[in-house]
């Protein structure tokens, strides 16, 4: 049995990746390493927690000694690295936390892998999961991010992810670490923490709270259903070329305001409320500092070389997502109590 280490597997995307690997590959033993920060939640993995090919390890990637021991004691074939601080607004209020986890944590993991794999380095794989935000923002509607687009990170979050990507490439060049990197657009779907746009709006519509749209709602994001991202990671982990980068995206651009209006329409119908009820909750609030205007991925490489394409249309994915939140109110209540409540009140009053 091949042992695979997935970091950040209790978070939003990581939990979908862990589930996919545990269910699809009985010949792998999946180790999920997660510090269980505010964003990590073992509830996300209840359905697979007793699987014989799954083990949860509580631990912090900022702890180099812990990582060295873990990788020395287990003969992991590969690492899929997702653990990170992931929210732009939090990076604006506390940039250093992003440097510590995203940059130092990644370098710790690279060092631990280098030490543990020193005798047969080429027989392993270090997969680093990153974001399209490292490329900066687009203005020309005909332009898209390519794998060759220069890095131009503009938020503390994207600067920390760009830095971690550079370290991963530097370890490939300097130490011949077998690496692969993917840069994905905005994800949505079940288990998304309600500080990000889509789950925050779903939560607030349910609770009849204001829907805070930053600025005029004209910023554009390219949305991908989270299970499609997990499938892309699976494809790249198995068939990607070592040393290469793959962009992953939904070809699904939405202005924030248009997205919120669509969500309002779906939710009014689902909740049996009068048309226009949710829309009346929209509140324009002060724009995010340094707010990137538009992200849009060109995922041609992944399609032509590895045959991956998104599977879900946006309305279908959004409806599935809304259904999941309506059927999992206990999950929402749980993650919106305690510390998150304090954060929410500070952010939105």
137 is catalytic: no
Tokens of 123: 């027989």
DSSP 132: G
- The residue whose two tokens read 């936390």 is 97
Catalytic residue check, 157: yes
Q: Candidates 5-13, 45-53, 211-219, 268-276 — which segment interacts with ligand TYD by CB under 6 A?
A: 211-219
DSSP letters, 58-123, are E--TT-HHHHHHHHHHS-EEEEEE--S---HHHHHH-HHHHIIIIIIHHHHHHHHHHHHTTTSGGG
Task: Give the three-class secondary structure for 54.
Answer: strand
Structure token pair of residue 328: 């999992």
Minimal distance in Å, beta carbon 188 to ligand TYD? 8
Strands 76-81 and 125-131: parallel
- Which of 39, 80, 200, 263 is in the footprint of ligand TYD by CB under 6 A? 200
Q: How far apart are CA 175 and CA 160, in angstroms?
A: 22
Structural element, H or E, at residue 335: helix 329-335
Residues 227-256, mask of contacts with ligand TYD (x by CB under 6 A): -----------------------------x
Which residues lie near ligand NAD (CB under 6 A)?
A: 7-8, 10-14, 34-37, 39-40, 60-62, 82-84, 86, 101, 105, 129-131, 161, 184, 186-187, 193
Q: Which residue's CB is nearer to ligand NAD, number 101 or number 155?
A: 101
To the nearest whole angstrom, how small is the minimum distance from the Cβ of residue 222 to ligand TYD? 9
Q: Which does 108 bind (CB under 5 to 8 A by kind): ligand TYD, ligand NAD, none?
A: none
DSSP H stretches of helix in 217-255: 226-239
193 contact, one of ligand NAD, ligand TYD, none, CB 5-8 Å limit per kind: ligand NAD
The smaller minimum CB distance to ligand NAD, of residues 227 and 278, is found at 227
From the candidates 34, 85, 133, 147, give the one annotated as an active-site residue: 133
Binding site for ligand TYD (CB under 6 A): 88, 186, 196-197, 200, 212-214, 219, 221, 256, 288
């Amino acid at each position: 049995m091949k042992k695979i280490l997935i970091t950040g597997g209790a978070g939003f995307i990581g939990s979908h990746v862990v589930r996919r690997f545990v269910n699809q590959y009985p010949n792998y033993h999946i180790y999920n390493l997660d510090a269980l920060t505010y964003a990590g939640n073992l509830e996300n993995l209840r359905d697979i927690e007793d699987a014989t090919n799954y083990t949860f390890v509580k631990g912090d990637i900022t702890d180099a000694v812990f990582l060295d021991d873990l990788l020395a004691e287990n003969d992991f074939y590969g690492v899929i690295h997702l653990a990170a601080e992931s929210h732009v607004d939090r990076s604006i209020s506390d940039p250093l936390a992003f440097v510590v986890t995203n940059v130092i944590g990644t370098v710790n993991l690279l060092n631990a892998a280098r030490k543990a794999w020193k005798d047969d380095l080429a027989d392993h794989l270090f997969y680093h999961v990153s974001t399209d935000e490292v490329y900066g923002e687009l203005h020309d509607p005909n332009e898209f991010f390519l794998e060759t687009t220069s890095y131009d990170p503009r938020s503390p979050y994207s600067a920390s992810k760009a830095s971690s990507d550079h370290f991963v490439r530097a370890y490939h060049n300097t130490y011949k670490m077998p690496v692969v990197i993917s840069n994905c657009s905005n994800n949505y779907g079940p288990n998304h923490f309600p500080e990000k746009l889509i789950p925050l709006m779903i939560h607030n519509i349910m609770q009849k709270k204001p829907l805070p749209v930053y600025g005029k709602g004209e910023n554009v994001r390219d949305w991908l259903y989270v299970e499609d991202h997990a499938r892309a990671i699976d494809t790249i982990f198995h068939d990607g070329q070592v040393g290469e980068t793959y962009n992953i995206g939904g070809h699904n651009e939405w202005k924030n305001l248009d997205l919120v209006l669509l969500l309002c329409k779906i939710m009014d119908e689902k909740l049996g409320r009068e048309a226009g009820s949710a829309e009346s909750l929209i509140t324009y609030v002060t724009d995010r500092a340094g707010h990137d205007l538009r992200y849009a991925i060109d995922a041609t490489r992944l399609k032509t070389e590895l045959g991956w394409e998104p599977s879900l249309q946006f309305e279908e994915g959004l409806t599935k997502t809304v259904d999941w939140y309506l059927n999992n109110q206990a999950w929402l209540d749980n993650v919106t109590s305690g510390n998150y409540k304090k954060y929410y009140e500070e952010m939105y009053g």
